[in-house]
Chains A and B, each alone.
Chain A
């Protein structure tokens, strides 16, 4: 059936565009059609053919469906760049939406919804209204999705024109496909709205469960995903729902299966009967196992999800560990995930077989996989006390193979095993020491040194061994230096003879004089002081018993796990991160606020999969159960032991001194800025307003000579000094704080929170972008009032200066946290009183130029809905103040 469209790609001489123009205006139909195809071909290969806009649109009025589709496709692509001309197409769209052929009616609304141009959108409403009530289900199902499109462009319009009601009516449509699309659209709209729009009642529930039997596989996924957030009233309802959903486990589409599993797991939380639960677990196991016969990409998603499921319901797959054994040809990403699940399912019953597998994997060729297999053996040893000895003997066998990275990895895990079972397996130290010279990875070296220090009294030549490391002390990485320091001190305390005494001098000298690492220096000084004042105390501290570590293979925090289980089958469950962590925006018409979790970490080349980023456990995956957190670091940190200080609180010096902090919203995306991306936000620090900016140069050339200019604005914000950005090399970024002043260039007219910014550099044209002024940066530090002053001020202001507003969706959970948060933004707590079942809170703040601001919040703690009343001499600012308070309460 193939045909040769590729001829359209072939370019003609130089005058391509004029030639196309001519052909598009040809009097012959076929020639015009061919010309449009050529235009689309050019568009496909990325040529800019937007200049042909009028000519292409002229071809739109045609009976030929294929040609019409091509013109529509062109419009979707270029309407945005030619908004004024796009209006030319409106008439044809409106006409097509009334065509007798349902394919054309649907095509017209579908395409109009894709054109994100305000002028077109205005004309979309009437056709959409008609199509939502069309006789043909094909048109209705397309119109249902179109409501979601419109909501994305202009939410208000959707609400004003009553489209939400029409959409809700479609849930009762007699066509299952229409129902499914309406559900998808409503679910998306709900996600982007703070007020309840799509509430699933028992009535809708039963309707949707019925539609489930009839709609397409994709529709089933929409419905199951939407229903999984339904909370059943009681165990009985939950059981009923589950009963209706379980047949879906037999569906050939794995997405249907996973979404059904998600829903069943949610409802199971409510079911109390252990028999029912056990039965359900039994029912879910086979479909989950079968997912592993799917295509590898789907296996990967399934495995990431199974990882979560076994953490909540380990019994489901307790007997199925064999299906997770790796096949020779499994892609490496599948093998890695299988390994993780094998560790989770390993038990005293199956450990022998599991160890045999791990050993097999440890002799494969993929280095990462081999390392992970070796670590897996160690993790099993830590998890299963009775199997520890067998695990160790496997590790020793692997060490004997003398493959360098296997040996190093084995030593790292053996160190952990020593920490888990102190004074049990020291007999193997001799074997470990044989491999001493081959260690070249810092973590393995550090582990070995820790072992030597910890068991110095049992290793005859411990001093010689450590000494061999000391020669290269200055060149070692910090990790190894810290361990060497501690191990030498331990050795000295255990064997205070001449050799170790000399060694300790050398080490302490090296670590205090010749280093610029503050961690190392501080630790060395503390040891030095301890040793010189009271060696016995030093012993008590340095040689103190360390808390025993535990296995963490079920390492997700329960509340995170809950959240992830609600998100089964979605990206969140693949990444093992809550959606907020990677969803950069929910509403495209809103200003782009990309609260990117990896603002600096992800340079364009380091495409880290978040799943394998912080999620994949290094050795530090062993945590200590007790609450005091010392020695939580991968290598037992004796400085932590020593002064009982959390390791993490020590800030390494090599971090840039530039201000870091929460990620900034992007104001100039790289796509608009020819590779220059700017994120910025107003902040307040030490009583001054700053414009905190992050510049990222994704272009190919170095950028320099940055200058900034702020347009006149309501608050008269302007830069207090020149913008000082160093030359920015490609692929680098920099953060700066630009001090700002107020009341400099005030704009007239109605107050507005828009801050218009112009930015230029020597290489690029001037960029303009809009930022939003966050009013709470203006609250001054001296806003705290005495209660008397507060009352007096309140009374002195006329009632006309009092304005109030409701925040229906806001919940005040913890009072203390809220008070603290507001105080951090200079809104200070004054008093609290009870009024009926509600709490009333009073706060004071000050605006610049000493204008007082009094705030009264009324709410029932823990329930949604906060009434906010303010009183101030400048009530014209109230809109901004409310916005600021709402933002602060929400965050």
Chain B
């Protein structure tokens, strides 16, 4: 059942090794490189390769980030979920250190990279991936002190994500409630799937070891406390917590209690799969005229209350690859042709609730087409938007209590925003 990684490779975009760390001495770097360069060469630009590949007794699991590949190799039956997730964590760690994770930053910092690879994994077992704490004892030159360091208590503590002795003049917490709406509408206008993924994003600037308690209008909790819910409470379907939240406590009495890490992190994410009325509805009508031109008529309607306003609305309308000479008119906002995406992009900076805007576009088409041509990729209409001060779920932060033994007062700031996630309408 158990199993661990054999080695970790950081490869460039062609699959050549930049840095690697051998954890078990049973994987050959030369073979790994040869295999990977071939693999990348073969897959070319399409991302069709499964992220778990087997070759000659070795399993390679990999992810890509900007122009590098992060790969773990294993000979045993190791935990694939854990190792792939670990790679994503590793990206976070590197980003914390180098701001950008790319070939250049790895080369420029290879000493630190080696040091990190030694600390975050031992004998192929993931050990410790809290970037903030790691940077307390593995430092880049600019911050390096000549005194020998000790491992911070946090590395082996039960509270492994926060160091002791943090101090701020002004103790503040910022809490952003961000909800992304995912929608899929079928070509017959039917809403196939909709869900909302919410996240409570926190930025804490708190001294000492603060005990926090967060109260939401969670129906289960309110009912357990015997309070009247008055229709304001909500049902959160699947909640995921940052590791700082005491899960057993939540399971017992739905209390969200935690000692937060310092700085920004996602305290929790949740999901609602109730039917959501599409906040921005787009209808498109396409007419092809005898292979010479194409006319697109689009209606966009905001289906939320008038007191809210969507901002930065961007509607991406697919057009045929061989379209030319765009001629576009809009009743609001501006539209531009983006040939690299084969799309027309309609931007509306401010879109109040209950409004409807129009776009009319005309393109030329070549009169001769290849009979044998492959069918065109049928892209959906995609929409981006943000609606501040609004949540689909109606989630509310009822309180955020912060208790620290020094007894300071901390100010919590809460903001709400809804945005489009995977918002797709297969209408054309």
Chain A interfacial positions (CB closer than 8 Å to B)? 1-6, 8-9, 37, 40-41, 44, 46, 63-66, 69-70, 73, 76-77, 80, 101-104, 106-107, 110, 113-114, 116, 136-138, 141-142, 145-146, 148-149, 152, 175-178, 181, 184, 187-188, 190-191, 213-218, 221-222, 225-226, 228-229, 246-248, 250-255, 257-259, 286-287, 289-290, 293-298, 300-302, 305, 322-323, 325, 327-329, 331-333, 353, 356-357, 360, 363-366, 401, 403, 566-567, 569-575, 579, 582-586, 588, 594, 596, 602, 604-605, 607-612, 670-671
Contact = CB atoms under 8 A, between A and B. Distances in A.
A485 B275 CA distance: 57
Interface stretch (B122-130, B171-179, B398-406): B122-130
B181 interface: no
Contacts of B50: 300, 333, 609, 611-612
Given A298-B81, A325-B184, 19 more contacts: A4-B108, A63-B148, A66-B111, A102-B150, A113-B123, A214-B158, A221-B82, A226-B2, A251-B247, A255-B81, A286-B237, A293-B197, A297-B88, A331-B47, A360-B186, A363-B378, A571-B78, A602-B56, A611-B50
Interface string B164-203: 0000000000000000000010110000110101000000
A184 B49 contact: no
B1 A187 contact: yes
Contact of A250 (B2, B52, B247): B247
B193 to A, nearest CB: 4
B116 to A, nearest CB: 11
Interface stretch (B28-36, B215-223, B322-330): B28-36
Contacts of A190: 2
Nearest to A227: B1
B77 interface: yes
B370 interface: no
Nearest to A181: B125
> Majority SS of interface residues in chain A?
helix
Contacts of B311: none
A575 B422 contact: no
Interface in B125-154: 125-129, 137, 140-144, 146, 148-151
B184 A607 contact: no
**Which of B81, B110, B374: most chain A CB closer than 10 A?**
B81
Contacts of A594: 57
29 contacts: A6-B107, A6-B108, A63-B148, A66-B115, A73-B114, A102-B150, A107-B118, A149-B123, A152-B24, A187-B2, A213-B248, A218-B86, A218-B125, A218-B128, A218-B129, A225-B79, A252-B241, A255-B86, A289-B273, A294-B85, A298-B88, A302-B81, A325-B184, A331-B48, A579-B77, A582-B59, A584-B75, A596-B57, A604-B38
A145 B115 CA distance: 18
A609 to B, nearest CB: 5
Contacts of A671: 28, 30-31
Interface residues of B, number: 121
Contacts of B142: 1, 3
A364 B247 CA distance: 43
Given A66-B111, A611-B50, A101 B150 contact: yes
Contact of B247 (A6, A101, A248, A566): A248
B109 A3 contact: yes
Contacts of B239: 250
A513 to B, nearest CB: 39
A297 B128 contact: no
A118 to B, nearest CB: 14
Contact of A2 (B55, B75, B109): B109
B1 A225 contact: yes
A145 B79 contact: no
Contacts of A137: 156
Nearest to A289: B238
- Those 4 A-B pairs whose CB atoms lie nearest each other, nearest first: A286-B238, A255-B82, A584-B57, A187-B2
Interface of B: 1-4, 17-19, 22-26, 28-31, 34-35, 38-39, 46-59, 61-63, 74-82, 84-88, 97-99, 104-105, 107-111, 114-115, 118, 122-123, 125-129, 137, 140-144, 146, 148-151, 155-156, 158, 160, 184, 186-187, 192-193, 195, 197, 237-243, 246-248, 250-251, 266, 268-269, 271, 273, 374-380, 382, 422, 424, 426
Nearest to A252: B240
B77 A332 contact: no
B383 to A, nearest CB: 13
A214 B160 CA distance: 9
Given A184-B125, A567-B1, A323 B193 contact: yes
Given A331-B47, A353-B192, A1 B140 contact: yes
B168 to A, nearest CB: 22
Given A77-B22, A588-B26, A138 B81 contact: no
B151 A102 contact: yes
B373 to A, nearest CB: 11
A605 B158 CA distance: 47
A69 B115 contact: yes
Given A142-B122, A218-B127, A286-B237, A569 B243 contact: no
A386 to B, nearest CB: 22
A346 to B, nearest CB: 15
A579 B375 CA distance: 42
A154 to B, nearest CB: 14
Contacts of A287: 238, 240
Given A571-B52, A575-B54, A605-B38, A252 B74 contact: no
B76 to A, nearest CB: 6
A186 B186 CA distance: 53
Contact of A184 (B2, B160, B250): B2
B241 A148 contact: no
B108 A5 contact: yes
A745 to B, nearest CB: 34
B140 A3 contact: yes
Given A255-B81, A258-B81, A2 B98 contact: yes
Contacts of B375: 363, 365, 401, 403
Contacts of B24: 152, 588
B56 to A, nearest CB: 6
Contact of B1 (A70, A229, A251, A604): A229
B52 A301 contact: yes
B1 A609 contact: no
A216 B84 contact: no
A294 to B, nearest CB: 8
Given A2-B99, A323-B193, A611-B50, A571 B271 contact: no
A856 B50 CA distance: 52
Contact of B140 (A2, A176, A252): A2
A41 B110 contact: yes
Given A570-B1, A609-B54, A290 B271 contact: yes
B137 A103 contact: yes
Contacts of B377: 364-365
A188 B4 contact: yes
